[in-house]
Structure 1
């Protein structure tokens, strides 16, 4: 099992990995969750998949087992910035605008984690390990990018596993039912565990 952080600067050294992440996202979000999202050539994508973002994959033998996208809160692409902020600004119909307890930050040391998934084909006996690898790489990559905090919109079941993963995670918004799933914005403090 490998864990890789991709960017536009290094994706050429990883063959089909970025395309495989987008294919796995399509399977997770469009096929499994039945979300109405853009897709092309069997891949899911959106306006936040830009050179500003990074993509993290846990993979083996070319199969993506899990993934996360990291986007700086300072990102800009046309009218868009990052998903949580754009939802708060009313630009995204599918996510309530009152998702955060405070104004969405635009700071170099804060990054957003989005499109978090574990593939439905990941065997149950590997899921805990895959999840741990994913969180470890997300934390390492975010710190390497200068983040001291990560915001994410994730399933509201996060209190069950946050401590197990060693994350200092706090609720940053109310629990919301989005497409029949309970979700919640969280803030992950990375400053306390800097090496």
Structure 2
């Protein structure tokens, strides 16, 4: 099992991995969750998949088992910035605007994690290991990018696994139901792990 952080600058070094990550996202979000998202060539994508972002993939023999997208909170592309902030500004119909307790930050040391998934066909007996690899690589990549904090809109069950993964996390917004799933914005403190 491998973990790789992809960027527009290094995708040429990883063969089909970048495309396979977007194919796995399609399988997870469009096929499995039945979300109405953009797709092309069997891949899911949105306005936040820009050169400013990074993508973490857990993979084995070309199969993507899990993934996360990291986007700086300073990102700008047309009217869009990053998903949580744009939802708060009312630019996204699918996510409530009152998802945060405070104003969404714009700070080079804060990154957003989004499009978090573990592939549906990942065997149950290795799902925890895959998830641990995903979180470990996300934390490492975010720190290397200068992040001291990561914001993520994730399932509200996060307290069960955050400590197990060694994350110092706290609620940054209310619990909301989105497409039948209870979600919450969480703030992950990476400052303690910088040493």
Secondary structure of 1:135's counterpart equals: helix
**Aligned mates of 1:21, 1:96 — CA distance in 2:** 27
Deviation at 1:70, TM superposition (A): 0.1
Q: How does 1:17-36 map to 2 (within 5 A)?
A: 17-36=17-36
Counterpart for residue 82 of structure 1: 82
Counterpart for residue 60 of structure 2: 60
Secondary structure of 1:192's counterpart equals: helix
Runs ≥4 in structure 1, deviation > 4 angstroms? none
TM-score by length of 2: 1.00
**Aligned mates of 2:32, 2:157 — CA distance in 1:** 18
Deviation at 1:104, TM superposition (A): 0.2
Structure 2 alignment gaps of length 5 or more: none
Secondary structure of 1:71's counterpart equals: strand
1:28-80: CA deviations, max 9, x gaps?
Answer: 00011000000001000000000000000000000000000000000000000
1:100-126: CA deviations, max 9, x gaps?
Answer: 000000000000000000001100111
Q: How does 1:138-153 map to 2 (within 5 A)?
A: 138-153=138-153
Deviation at 1:194, TM superposition (A): 1.3
Secondary structure of 2:49's counterpart equals: coil
Counterpart for residue 101 of structure 2: 101
Counterpart for residue 123 of structure 1: 123
TM-score by length of 1: 1.00
**Aligned mates of 1:49, 1:113 — CA distance in 2:** 12
**Aligned mates of 2:10, 2:140 — CA distance in 1:** 17
Secondary structure of 1:185's counterpart equals: strand
